[in-house]
């Protein structure tokens, strides 16, 4: 069963416009949720994480995400895209009640000048 | 804080040879380390989980005799790809969780190692 769903494998946004990346998850436990960013040929950098504290999580580089349990969602947003935001974004969940991670398929974000 | 390094960043080897990749936690003690494999334009696939001083736990379908993992200290884990073949060419990424409260629930990722087998 798919633990993490990220639709829209490719997302194009114009510089200065909002970014919205959707993530839905399934878990029998109370999961921890993360968004990571990966630039080409680089490792993953943690953007933000939710671990049962405030449902609106603020991360680095102006990104934030809101945990909505009723919708099993953890969408990532940023008010204004910057050229440096062009990268691959992964929604990641701990669906098994331990520290094993389940990755979404990723969103490739392209920022148009 | 919570920096993970990998060495080498890129390696090219001949088919049939073995390659060792190192993963180090630089500023924390990594009680658990993870090894992932990433194919082009795909997500990360967990290969194995290793705890310091014990045998690694491999995911289903991952050959433990092919991918040897050693986690001999709290700051170092190694992945050895034995008798490498072209189909083993991939991007290998490690991650680590630590023993400090701030990092026990978060995996910190290394920059990855690009393996090319000719």
| Calpha distance B7→A41 (Å, rounded) | 14
- Indicate if the pLDDT at residue A1 is higher than 60: no
| CA dist., res. B29 & res. A47, Å (int) | 22
- Contact across the interface for A101 and B46, Cβ inside 8 Å: yes
Q: Which residues of B touch A43 (CB under 8 A)?
A: 4, 6, 93, 109-112
Taking only the tens place, the pLDDT of each residue in A65-91 is 999 989 999 999 999 999 999 999 999
DSSP per position, B13-44: E-TT--EEEEEEESSS-EEEEEEEEE-TTS-E
| Chain A positions in Cβ-Cβ contact with residue B109 (cut-off 8 Å) | 36, 43-46
Judged against a pLDDT cut of 50, whether residue A18 lies above it is answered with yes
Model pLDDT, residue B35: 96
**Ramachandran category for residue B42: left, alpha or beta (phi over 0 → left; psi -120 to 50 → alpha):** beta
Quote the CA–CA distance of B72 and A80 in Å, as a whole number: 45
Q: Tell me how many residue pairs between chain A and chain B have CB atoms under 8 A apart.
A: 46
Which of A95, A99, A102 has the highest number of chain B CBs within 10 A, making it the mutation to test binding with B?
A: A99
Higher local confidence (pLDDT), A9 or B2: A9
Q: Is B97 within 8 Å of A34 when comparing Cβ atoms?
A: no
Which of B49, B105, B108 lies nearest to residue A100, judging by beta carbons?
B49
Specify the pLDDT at position B8.
96
Average pLDDT over residues A25-50: 87
Record: contact A105-B32, CB cut-off 8 A: no
The confidence score (pLDDT) of residue B101 equals 47
Q: Which residue has the higher pLDDT, A33 or B1?
A: A33
Residues of B in contact with A49 (CB under 8 A): 105-106
**Most confident of the ranges A20-29, A49-58, B59-68, B96-105:** B59-68
Decide the pairing of beta strands B57-58 and B44-51: antiparallel
pLDDT tens-digit profile, chain B (118 residues): 688 999 999 999 999 999 999 999 988 888 889 999 998 878 889 999 998 888 899 999 999 999 999 988 889 999 999 999 999 999 999 999 876 644 567 888 999 999 999 9
Q: For residues B99 and B101, what is the distance between their CA atoms, to the nearest angstrom?
A: 6
**What pLDDT score was predicted for residue B80?**
97
Q: What pairing do the DSSP bridges indicate for beta strands A24-25 and A4-5? A: antiparallel
Please check whether residue A59 touches B, CB under 8 A: no
HSE of B67 in the Cβ direction (CA atoms, 13 Å)? 25
Closest of A77, A59, A76, A60 to residue A25, by C-alpha: A76
| For residue A53, pLDDT beyond 80 | no
């Amino acid at each position: 069963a798919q633990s993490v769903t990220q639709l829209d494998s490719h997302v194009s946004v114009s510089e200065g416009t909002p970014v919205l990346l959707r993530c839905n998850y399934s878990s029998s436990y109370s999961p921890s949720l993360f968004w990571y960013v990966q630039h080409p040929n680089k490792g993953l950098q943690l953007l933000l994480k939710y671990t049962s504290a405030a449902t609106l999580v603020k991360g680095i580089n102006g990104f934030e995400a809101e945990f909505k349990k009723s919708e099993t969602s953890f969408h990532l947003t940023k008010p204004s895209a910057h050229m440096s935001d062009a990268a691959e974004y992964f929604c990641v969940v701990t669906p098994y009640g331990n520290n094993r991670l389940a990755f979404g398929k990723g969103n490739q974000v392209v920022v148009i000048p | 804080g919570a920096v993970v390094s990998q060495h080498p960043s890129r390696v090219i080897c001949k088919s049939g040879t073995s390659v060792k990749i190192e993963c180090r936690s630089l500023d924390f003690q990594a009680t658990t380390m993870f090894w992932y494999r990433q194919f082009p334009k795909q997500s990360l696939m967990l290969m194995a989980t290793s705890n310091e001083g014990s045998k690694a736990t491999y995911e289903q379908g991952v050959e433990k005799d092919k991918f040897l993992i050693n986690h001999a200290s709290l700051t170092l884990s190694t992945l050895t790809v034995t008798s490498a073949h072209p189909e083993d060419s991939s991007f290998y990424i490690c991650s680590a969780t630590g023993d400090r409260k701030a990092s026990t629930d978060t995996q910190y990722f290394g920059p990855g190692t690009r393996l090319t087998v000719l």
